[in-house]
């Protein structure tokens, strides 16, 4: 972090926010000026009534040992409950706390649906480098992180890091299991496609044992290999250990209550998509 504390208020805000996040086992936090960010949804800043200020970027690790199951058929990010619920719970506690501590300032928090490009902001904040697979690669947790941020109208003197990129070893490109990647798609996008799949698309899902998402470009990444070898790749956050499902079955999905289903990351496409993919896998298991 690059910052110069000039006032007591700046120091208090910085320390209060960092201490709160550390108590939640969030240890990858960086700060940068809002002016250094790529604003992609300005209406969200207008809604928050924030024009200038400071951004606190967070990289939230999510991988757990449940993701190591040999027959896992969904992406690691979807093994736990939906990460949007994590941020919802976090911000529900954090924002009122900040508003109480600093009543003369505005705060807004985002994850995924953000007013800024989170990937570039995280790199600018020094949390990691940008990989060829379009993910943030951190030294401690590899690429298995979600990004979120708190934006305030209070300007803390700080400067952004230069954006760095990975070594371009080519491992992620070589590991991509389907030719549709040449059309700016990927296996993950194919698994989330609605409607009836072509025979070739069904063959791709079946041959890769894919029910939802894809981690091939992460599994081969040297950053993730290093984090695994160092023993730091697993999340210290309890949320991601709750109710893991590594290899869902059609019966599980069909019998889930609406409430439980809506807690899964794949629920936004509806039950039909993941059930279709599960039926493709089951059909492949049926002997001729």
> Residue 156: is it exposed, middle or buried by C-beta count within 10 angstroms (0-12/13-18/19+)?
buried
Residue appearing with tokens 């499902």: 245
Strand-pair partners of 151 = 55, 108
Question: Based on C-alpha coordinates, what's the Rg of the chain?
Answer: 20
* b/e map 8-35, b = 16+ CB within 10 Å: eebeebbeebbebbeebebebbbbbbbe
CA separation for the pair 256, 251 (Å, rounded): 9
Instruction: Work out the angle between the directed axes of helices 8-23 and 83-101 (0-180°, nearest 10).
Output: 150
Report the candidate in 262, 237, 242, 266 with the shortest Cα–Cα distance to residue 62: 237
Q: DSSP secondary-structure letter at 40?
A: S
The one catalytic residue in 68, 112, 153, 260 is 112
Distance CA 206, CA 276 (A): 12
DSSP characters over 168-189: --SHHHHH---GGGGGT--HHH
Q: How far, in Å, CA of 82 to CA of 118, rounded?
A: 18
Number of H helices, E strands in the chain: 12, 6
Q: Is 112 a catalytic residue?
A: yes
CA neighbor of 77 nearest in space, from 200, 235, 256 = 235
Which helix or strand (DSSP H or E) is residue 110 part of? strand 107-110
Which sequence positions are flagged as catalytic? 112
């Amino acid at each position: 972090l690059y910052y110069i504390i000039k006032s007591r208020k700046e120091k208090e805000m910085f320390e209060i926010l960092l201490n709160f996040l550390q108590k939640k086992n969030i240890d990858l936090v960086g700060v940068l000026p809002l002016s250094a960010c790529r604003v992609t949804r300005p209406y969200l800043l207008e809604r928050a009534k924030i024009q200038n200020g400071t951004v606190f970027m967070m990289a939230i690790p999510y991988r757990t040992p449940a993701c190591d199951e040999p027959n896992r058929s969904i992406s690691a990010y979807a093994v736990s409950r939906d990460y949007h619920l994590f941020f919802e719970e976090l911000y529900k506690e954090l924002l009122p706390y900040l508003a109480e501590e600093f009543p003369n300032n505005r705060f807004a928090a985002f994850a995924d649906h953000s007013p800024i490009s989170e990937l570039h902001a995280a790199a600018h904040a020094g949390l990691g480098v940008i990989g060829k697979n379009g993910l943030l690669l951190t030294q401690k947790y590899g690429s298995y992180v979600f990004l979120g941020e708190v934006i305030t109208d209070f300007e803390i003197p700080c400067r952004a890091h230069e954006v760095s990129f990975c070594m371009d070893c080519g491992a992620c490109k070589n590991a991509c299991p389907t030719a549709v990647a040449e059309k700016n798609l990927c296996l993950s996008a194919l698994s989330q496609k609605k409607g009836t799949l072509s025979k070739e698309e069904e063959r791709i899902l079946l041959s890769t044992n894919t029910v939802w998402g894809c981690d091939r470009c992460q599994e081969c990444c040297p950053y993730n290999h290093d984090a695994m070898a160092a023993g730091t790749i697993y999340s210290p956050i309890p949320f991601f250990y709750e109710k893991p499902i590594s290899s869902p079955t059609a019966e599980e999905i069909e019998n889930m209550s609406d409430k439980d289903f809506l807690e899964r990351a794949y629920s936004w496409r509806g039950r039909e998509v993941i059930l279709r993919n599960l039926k493709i896998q089951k059909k492949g298991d049926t002997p001729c």
